Structure 1
Amino acid sequence: MVDLTAEDLPLSADFESVYRVGSADAVAEWEQFSTILGLGFDAAGRLYLLDGTDMRAAGRVVVVDASGRHVRNFGRPGEGPGEFQRGTELVVWRDGSTLVADIAGYHVFAAGGAFERRVRETGGFGVVTRRGLRRERTGYQAVVVRDGRYIRRVDMSLEEVQGRMLVEAWNPRAPTEAPPIVDFEDVLNTVGEEWGFEPEVLFDALPTGGVAFSDSSAYAIKLTDASGSISRILRRPLRPMAVTEGMKREERERRLEEERIRQATAIEGDPPPQVLTMINRYLEAQTAAVENMRFYPDLPVVAALRVTWEGNLWVERSTEAGSSEPGAIDVLTPDGHYIGTFPAGRIEMPGAFGPDGLVAFLEADEFGVPVITVRRLTQKVR
């Protein structure tokens, strides 16, 4: 256990600008982005961008070099090898090989962009449901992913997903056994209670093969070795913010709006009337669960957690619910030294960390077109 200071040491967010790509005024076709669904760097400083054809599906991967010059595109919409039906996430490994998570599997591409294989899920009708993929940092074609309150290391070098549990995070609610599904009424019973401000399992992969994660309302960052054993816990004496009635009301309204948007695109094609009735009943049950959601008493201190290319930790702290301002970001070393804090509102959490201090920030211009700004961090905070 390492107890860190409660007093913030302000850090400057005045970083060197390296390049900027994407704009409504872009002349080159490659730079006309629709929606960026994922981004990541390789060891040469090349930036990979997963660009979507709409808000739900990827259409291509765009690669630029360390100076922002276009290198190549690969991938396209479709149902064939290396084509995306509904690509949602991108993983970039050190050597430039990549993985795109799609609804029907994971597409793996070689460093030059050539399609290598599709990796299939082994359960759940083969549909990809994993979210928040992080690249494994020790050189293997593997990812680290959250699965409920578990963190798993998943091998992507074979034809089928091979995973093993790395961490079982603390669960604020007693786990319940899923009921057996025999008919549609059993499916409705799987719609459980909705909770607001539940502590998420926030995590990222460490260069040593372990992970850093947060699983409670407190400021307690847990670090593991490659086997998943906790080797260190970094704490700051910062108290969680109490949840007010106004915060509950705003959170319920936000979640209902998310549910409305999700349901607006949930039904595709023209399903038979009986199937449509079942789908609508299920969606109604999900909406009712949000309307009757319960709340935890405190807002978790930690809102986001990332690990830099060199292995330092960036820990974003929560702001009051409903605030659009980014929270303060603490920079810690994995051995338990506090470097300092970027004050609230000064800097967003980067979308990707790269070598030599490169970081990519995802923004939007005045027309809502994605813009990616790459900057170089000072040595102190890398």
Structure 2
Amino acid sequence: MPVGKKLARSGRSRTFAMAAAGSVLFTSGALNAQEIIDLPGEDRWIEPRFEEIYRIGSPSGEGWEQFGNVRKVAFDGAGHLYVFDWQPLHIHVVDGSGGLRRTLGGQGDGPGEIRRASSFTVMPDGRVVVGDTGYLAYQIFDANGDYVRRVRMTPGDRPTTLWEFTPDPAGNALLSAVGSQMLLFQYSDDLPTHTTRPIERIDLAGDVAVKDTVAVGWLPLGVEWLTSGLREPNVFGPRMLMGVLQDGTIAFSDSSAYAIKVVPPGAGVQRILRRPLQPVRVTNRMKEAEKDRQRQEPVPPGQERLMREHIDGLVFSEAVSIVRELGVSWDGQIWVQRRGEGPLDDDGPIDVLTVDGRYLGSYRAGATMPDAFGPDRLVAYIEEDELGVQTVVVKRVLGL
């Protein structure tokens, strides 16, 4: 979808707003002002154009390709793909044609082995960081795959909560959003009480990780699960979604509305990208349908009473959130997946925006959000067939 004067005339308007005590003050001269960019309300459809580069994973392939459970994939700055196979706790590094370069990790207690983990990430220079919940530490490997050291998640044996994390391109650190995908929860009476969903920079320079808040997301009322672990997020409520661009700019979504917040390095929220799409109000019919759906789910023996209590105690959001997934490309695009037809349908259209506030168009409902973005417009998808066989497909985006 070409971008030029035609899109520039399509109704974008710019105002400035400053958040204050739960209200919004519109002003052009405010300190710490937020630029609000209103994008077009009408969808401009993009026809998918992708060039397949390679695919890996086969029951009859080489041993490393016989995947057990691929949890995550990621690219480094050279375009090498990293595949985290959770079953053997291996991370396979794949070259630009799909050939194996090396494998690191593996389950165990020795140097360079992983006790227990469900996520990892890759720095642009090829260093690998594994969130090892068995050691309660971040394990760091160099660009050659050699083990370097561990950085403890907390001082001593203090309980912790681990959320999904991504590299901070600016340095030896990670970025993580409280309220995103939870990787580990350890209950403690003295865990901090959250009144927001902060985005934290996790510095890995020392022996113990040091956290610093770089942005603040909205925390809906009634989600004590962030600290107690005893309550789930509101059904149909807003997810905390975050992506980090290669210059360190953060894009995140934290509300039921369509409002993508942009945070440049070293600053708070400076820009909000909005589309005039309205969240659907949650009805009693939706609530009962969701309870009925959960009642049909298989229940482990002896857990029937607990499941009934869980369903009876469900807390519902007032509105069905619009944004379901968010990804960022290495060339500065923000991909925003909206909800589909039903309140639980995550496969709606995918909007493609730029960080400076241009709307490039939308892929129609049914398009798949990439599991990883890489340099030179590379994307990777984790696919699974009807027999549960996983394949990782690498493509190049064309036409944007």
- Residue 352 of structure 2 is aligned with which of 327, 331, 340? 331
Q: Deviations over 1:175-198 (max 9, x none)?
A: 87999xxxxxxxxx8734752122
Q: Do 1:211 and 1:224's aligned partners in 2 also have CA atoms closer than 8 Å? A: yes
The residue number in structure 1 matching 2:384 is 364
- Residue 128 of structure 2 is aligned with which of 98, 105, 114? 98
Instruction: Give, in angstroms, the shift of residue 73 of structure 1.
Output: 0.6
Q: Does 1:32 align with 2:62?
A: no
- Residue 141 of structure 1 is aligned with which of 162, 172, 178? 172
For residue 230 of structure 1, give the secondary structure of its aligned residue in structure 2. Answer: coil
Instruction: Give, in angstroms, the shift of residue 119 of structure 1.
Output: 1.3
The residue number in structure 1 matching 2:46 is 11
Q: More helix by proportion, 1 or 2?
A: 1
TM-score by length of 2: 0.79
Q: Residues 72 and 192 (structure 1 numbering): CA distance in 2 closer, same or farther, change over 3 Å?
A: closer
The residue number in structure 1 matching 2:117 is 87
The residue number in structure 2 matching 1:69 is 99
Q: Do 2:378 and 2:394's aligned partners in 1 also have CA atoms closer than 8 Å? A: yes
Q: Deviations over 1:194-247 (max 9, x none)?
A: 521221211111223231111111101010121241111100001112324453
- The one-letter amino acid paired with 1:46 is H
- The one-letter amino acid paired with 2:339 is S
- Residue 371 of structure 2 is aligned with which of 333, 351, 357? 351
> Between the two proteins, what is the percent identity of the paired residues?
37
Instruction: Give, in angstroms, the shift of residue 258 of structure 1.
Output: 8.7
Q: Do 1:191 and 1:289's aligned partners in 2 also have CA atoms closer than 8 Å? A: no
For residue 46 of structure 2, give the secondary structure of its aligned residue in structure 1. Answer: coil
Q: Residues 95 and 193 (structure 1 numbering): CA distance in 2 closer, same or farther, change over 3 Å?
A: closer
Q: Across the two proteins, how many residue pairs are aligned to each other?
A: 346
Cα distance in 1, alignment partners of residues 205 and 312 from structure 2: 43
Q: Does 1:298 align with 2:337?
A: no
For residue 247 of structure 1, give the secondary structure of its aligned residue in structure 2. Answer: helix
Instruction: Give, in angstroms, the shift of residue 366 of structure 1.
Output: 3.5
The residue number in structure 2 matching 1:267 is none
Name which of structure 1's ranges 246-255 and 208-217 shifts more when overlaid on structure 2.
Answer: 246-255
Name which of structure 1's ranges 322-331 and 206-215 shifts more when overlaid on structure 2.
Answer: 322-331
- The one-letter amino acid paired with 2:120 is L
Q: Residues 190 and 223 (structure 1 numbering): CA distance in 2 closer, same or farther, change over 3 Å?
A: closer
The residue number in structure 2 matching 1:319 is 340
Cα distance in 2, alignment partners of residues 117 and 197 from structure 1: 41
Q: Deviations over 1:280-302 (max 9, x none)?
A: 99x98797345311211211111
The residue number in structure 2 matching 1:196 is 235
For residue 7 of structure 1, give the secondary structure of its aligned residue in structure 2. Answer: coil
Instruction: Give, in angstroms, the shift of residue 163 of structure 1.
Output: 1.2
Q: Residues 25 and 300 (structure 1 numbering): CA distance in 2 closer, same or farther, change over 3 Å?
A: same
Instruction: Give, in angstroms, the shift of residue 80 of structure 1.
Output: 2.3
- The one-letter amino acid paired with 2:144 is G
Cα distance in 2, alignment partners of residues 338 and 77 from structure 1: 45
Q: Residues 360 and 250 (structure 1 numbering): CA distance in 2 closer, same or farther, change over 3 Å?
A: farther
Q: Do 2:299 and 2:307's aligned partners in 1 also have CA atoms closer than 8 Å? A: no
- The one-letter amino acid paired with 2:108 is G
For residue 248 of structure 1, give the secondary structure of its aligned residue in structure 2. Answer: helix
